[in-house]
Structure 1
Amino acid sequence: MRIAAFVLSLLFSLAACAEGDAQNTYEAGKHYYEINPAVRTITGDKIEVAEVFWYGCGHCYKFEQLVKPWQKTLADDVELVKNPAIWRDVMALHSRIYFAAKALGVDEVVNDKAFAALNGSPRQSLADEEAIAKLFKEAGVAEEDFKKAFNSFGVKAQVQQADARARSFGISGTPELVVAGKYRISGRLLNSQEDMLKVANFLIEKERAAKKAGQ
């Protein structure tokens, strides 16, 4: 009886493992898109995960609350980069918020403030430089330093580069994730934003295995 019980228990364990593997297996075209040709990454030897977003996107605002803790779980060979999306003039203006904040070393603080301003209550439009300057002032940045960074050639060039990368990714909305410049994850294919991160984990492992095989 004990042997029979042990065998039965083992079979149940194997079945559970198989079910778990199936749940963590995702297919191109069904759970994510393949990007062809692949887009060049900007993270060197690390596996790049690009988060394409817009501060004024309510879905991005919610997704950010998931991405923050998830980012802390990433291995040292993975790097998350943010890529603002642009298809309207105001989005180009908001993209400058991200890159100016990054240049001034206050991106984490300003990112939170920008998301809250455009999605909280009462909502702000952040439709001009004066309104945006207040975010940086609250983050402890002098007005002169803000203006210098916000209107710098470097920031404007980064905005153009981010726009070009997003278009190369084939972005259809926000938020979306792109792994290694090869795979695009859209919420349109999945049931939840949590699923987007599960697929990202799967694709990170896929890319890691491919890199090891190529060594």
Structure 2
Amino acid sequence: MLKKIKLSLLLLCLPFAAFAAQFEIDNQYTVIDVEKSSTAQVTEFFSFYCGHCFKFEPVAKAIEKNLPDGVVFIKNHVNFLGGVSPQTQSNLSFAYLIAKKHGQAHNIAEQIFKSIHIQGAPLTEIKDVKKLLEINGIDSNTFDSDIASMPIISAERALQDKQNKYSALGALTGVPTFIVNDKYKININTIKSQTELDELVKFLLAL
């Protein structure tokens, strides 16, 4: 009976072991010259204005869903894309942070992506951003109060600081970019499936 249990456990570990044996530094992932975060986390640098990020959203959601217990998934909206002013991009950062405060992060993110990439409404004016949130349950007065509050202003500044830090390190050259524990950048172009991506995340979390 004990042998059967050991065999079953071994079989369960085989898929991970098979993937882990293939994961190589400077191939599937790159090590960034910073200290590893003290908490287990996966950060996605993305932009609502990025078509690739829009198409990649189901993958990002799957990563978040499949994370081990206790691991935090962080969406870090950037404001450095060409063709749209940094302030316009930051308006969407504020919108996302306000939505997150009110437990509406996933829904509002989906609606922003839909507005820009499906409906062709780019949300370049703050009044349009405010209207979108209002339609989805966050009223105008709440929006005005939150966007002027220090916690939201500080959180948006933190998003910019983090994007600037990883840009300066050469780890953030485009979006979407996924970084595990602030130290390991996933080279997404080398990954062939969601299963492989999930296993790579788990592998990097354990380093």
Identify the TM-score tier after normalising by the shorter chain.
0.7 to 0.9
Q: Match of 1:181?
A: 182
What is the CA-CA distance between 1:192 and the residue it aligns to?
A: 5.2
Per the alignment, do residues 48 and 22 of structure 1 end up closer, same or farther by CA in structure 2, a change over 3 Å counting?
closer
User: Among 52, 55, 58, which residue is 1:59 paired with?
Assistant: 52
Mapped pair 1:116 → 2:114: yes
User: Among 12, 22, 32, which residue is 1:35 paired with?
Assistant: 32
Mapped contact 1:59–1:174 kept (Cα < 8 A): yes
Structure with the greater relative contact order (CA < 8 A, sep ≥ 6): 1 or 2? 2
Q: How does 1:132-211 map to 2 (within 5 A)?
A: 132-169=129-166, 170-187=171-188, 189-190=189-190, 194=194, 196-204=197-205, 206-207=206-207
Q: Match of 1:76?
A: 69
Of 51-60 and 72-81, more deviation after overlay is shown by 72-81
Q: Which runs of 5+ in 1 are unaligned?
A: 1-13, 208-215
- In the alignment, the residues of structure 1 paired with residue 63 and residue 21 of structure 2 have an alpha-carbon distance, to the nearest angstrom, of 17
Structure 1 outlier segments of 4+, above 4 Å:
195-198
Larger radius of gyration: 1
- In the alignment, the residues of structure 1 paired with residue 60 and residue 21 of structure 2 have an alpha-carbon distance, to the nearest angstrom, of 19
What is the CA-CA distance between 1:23 and the residue it aligns to?
A: 6.8
Per the alignment, do residues 70 and 165 of structure 1 end up closer, same or farther by CA in structure 2, a change over 3 Å counting?
same
Identity %, equivalent residues: 22
Q: Secondary structure at the match of 2:73?
A: strand
Of 49-58 and 66-75, more deviation after overlay is shown by 66-75
What is the CA-CA distance between 1:133 and the residue it aligns to?
A: 0.9
Per the alignment, do residues 162 and 24 of structure 1 end up closer, same or farther by CA in structure 2, a change over 3 Å counting?
farther
TM-score by length of 1: 0.75
- In the alignment, the residues of structure 2 paired with residue 105 and residue 91 of structure 1 have an alpha-carbon distance, to the nearest angstrom, of 21
Q: Secondary structure at the match of 2:66?
A: coil
Mapped contact 1:25–1:202 kept (Cα < 8 A): no
Q: Which runs of 5+ in 2 are unaligned?
A: 1-10
Q: Match of 1:9?
A: none
Per the alignment, do residues 21 and 153 of structure 1 end up closer, same or farther by CA in structure 2, a change over 3 Å counting?
same
- In the alignment, the residues of structure 2 paired with residue 192 and residue 174 of structure 1 have an alpha-carbon distance, to the nearest angstrom, of 18
CA RMSD of aligned residues (A): 2.5
The residue type paired with residue 52 of structure 2 is: H
Q: How does 1:88-99 map to 2 (within 5 A)?
A: 88-89=85-86, 90-99=88-97
Q: Match of 2:6?
A: none
